[in-house]
Amino acid sequence: MNDLETFMLEKFGISKKVLDFCLEQEKAIASSFAEIDRITEYNQYKVLAAMQKNRLSDVHFAATTGYGYNDLGRDTLEEIYADVFEAESALVRPQLISGTHALTVALAGNLRPGDELLSPVGAPYDTLQGVIGIRPEDGSLAEYGITYRQVDLIGEDQFDYEGIRNAMNDKTKLVTIQRSKGYEWRKSFTVEEIGQLISFIKSIKPDVICMVDNCYGEFVETIEPSQVGADLVVGSLIKNPGGGLAPIGGYIVGKKEYVEHAANRLTAPGLGKEVGATLGVTPSLIQGLFQAPQVVNGSLKTALFAAKVYDALGFGVLPTPQEKRADIVQLIRFGAADKMISFCKGIQKAAPVDSYVVPEPWDMPGYDVPVIMAAGAFVQGSSIELSADGPIKPPYNVYMQGGLSWHHGKIGILVSLQTMVDDGVITL
């Protein structure tokens, strides 16, 4: 055995058979890795240029407390985000605790009683269903007289343009487009596809607000939805744009009017973006954004590697190793609960944090069936760090994402496969 094989066996229990199989798959996707590197280089320069344009300085790293008036770091960070996304304005705050919260603030800030919200891409992610009122929850938009309508996709990935045309009416105020697949077996949408959908919607009703849930999609391509007509783009800082350093936060970028409406809902009418202390987290948010393209690079390579390994083993994967990627999420269809659970055990076992913990399905708030989650993360719930989760129900799909570095993602996939072999649920 060579040094790598010996180390893998001694430290992680990876057999030569598993290692050889996975290294063979890695060689087959070398050209795809090169394309990921090209996109990363472009995005790294884009972030750098935005920081230089806004004259970022160490004075912007100072903490504020209380009301947070005249927070130079906060305001500069928001200018940087606006430039990176080529948007008029940005709201980037630690007070936005998650992607769902950021979406809630954007929706509640821009919808009024009597308005209608339309989703042209089928049902939104589970947690947002409670926000809208699809699943009754206290304080939902439905309780404030905001109605909802959706148009399902045709098959796994086709927009129902005629259905969208028929669903839009005088009450349609805002259209929400979820870029990532959520807990669905469908492809995630590229920025180009989102732009085509927005153009169609605007041709029917030019004044409708088009909002994109951009979670998991930032820096996967060289352009963002705000560059193809989206009025609002929303995401979480403990996903892609936080670069693994942001301890909390979310962002809303887009047209100045709509961002200000969201800010008035986050703080209070009349206060908007002028208040909100940063309490010392600004350096992490800024440095996290700077590192984000490289971290997304590792996540994309990890997802592609997982797709190649598990596709070669005969499992359903989406996207396939040959398909263009629109986000960092890799879906694997295991077809059996024991295989799904064993895979997640392996991902947890490879984590830098809580590697000794064995994940088990549990009744997670916001979901209607038990969910298993493997996430040994430095930041709780951070899905830019290597993680895997899914609802325990047929066909037993796992949604894997993240990886702060490619090499950690690689060992995560190796350990996941070795765990499945050791558990006797798969044979090489």
Q: What is the pLDDT of residues 254-292, one digit of tens each?
A: 999 999 999 999 999 999 999 999 999 999 999 999 999
pLDDT over 80 (residue 368): no
Residue 104: is its pLDDT beyond 80? Answer: yes
pLDDT digits (tens, 9 = 90+) for 289-319: 999 999 999 999 999 999 999 999 999 999 9
In a domain, 274, yes or no: yes
| CATH number for the domain harbouring residue 359 | 3.90.1150.60
Assess whether pLDDT exceeds 90 at residue 410: yes
Number of structural domains found in the chain:
2
Q: Are 309 and 407 members of one domain? A: yes
Which ranges constitute the DSSP H helices of 231-281? 256-266
> Which residue, 237, 268, 289, sits at the end of a domain?
289
pLDDT band at 1 (very low <50, low <70, confident <90, very high): low
Alpha-carbon distance of 168 to 183, in angstroms, equals: 26
Mean pLDDT of 114-142: 95
Q: Which positions ≥6 away from 243 have C-beta within 8 Å?
A: 287, 288, 289, 290, 291, 292, 294, 295, 384
Domain shared by 278 and 414, yes or no? no
Do 229 and 344 lie in one domain? The reply is no
pLDDT for 3 beyond 90: no
Summarize the confidence of residues 343-369 as an average pLDDT: 90
- C-alpha span between 184 and 300 (Å, rounded): 19
Q: For 285-288, which contacts have Cβ atoms below 8 Å and span 24 or more sequence positions?
A: 285/77, 285/92, 285/94, 285/237, 285/242, 285/245, 285/246, 285/249, 286/51, 286/56, 286/60, 286/61, 286/73, 286/77, 286/80, 287/243, 287/245, 288/237, 288/241, 288/242, 288/243, 288/244, 288/245, 288/246
Length of the chain: 428
Q: What is the mean pLDDT of the chain?
A: 96
| DSSP state for residue 325 in the 8-state scheme | P
Distance (Å, whole) CA 213 – CA 176: 7
Tell me, yes or no, whether 273 lies in a domain. Answer: yes
**Number of CB atoms found within 10 A of residue 248's CB:** 21
Are 194 and 283 found together in one domain?
yes
Mean pLDDT of 394-409: 96
pLDDT for 140-181, tens place per residue? 999 999 999 999 999 888 999 999 999 999 999 999 999 998
Helix (H, G, I), strand (E, B) or coil at 364: coil
- Say whether pLDDT at 406 is over 80: yes
Residue 52 domain flag = no
Could you tell me if residue 315 is inside a domain?
A: yes
Compute the C-alpha angle 181/149/396, nearest 5°: 30
Q: Which domain-ending residue is among 230, 264, 289?
A: 289
- The pLDDT of residue 366: 61
pLDDT digits (tens, 9 = 90+) for 185-225: 899 999 999 999 999 999 999 999 999 999 999 999 999 99
pLDDT at 367 over 80: no
| Residue 424 burial (CB count, 10 A) | 9
**Per-residue model confidence (pLDDT) at position 273:** 97
Of 210, 186, 182, 187, whose CA–CA distance to 100 is shortest?
A: 182
378 belongs to a structural domain: yes
> Tokens for 306?
């997982």
Residue range 17-75, pLDDT digits in tens: 999 999 999 999 999 999 999 999 999 999 999 999 999 999 999 999 999 999 999 99
Query: Do residues 119 and 230 share a domain?
Result: yes
Q: Would you list the DSSP string of 377-421?
A: -SSTT-SSSSEEEEESSTT-EEEEE--SSHHHHHHHHHHHHHHHH
Which of 3-7, 54-58, 122-126 is predicted with the least confidence, judged by mean pLDDT?
A: 3-7
**Domain span at 212:** 60-289
Residues 112 and 18 in one domain: no
Pairing type for strands 397-401 and 147-150 reads unpaired
CA triple 358-361-362, angle to 5 deg: 115
pTM over 0.75: yes
CA distances from 255 to 66, 88, 130, 219, 227 (A): 28, 5, 26, 20, 11
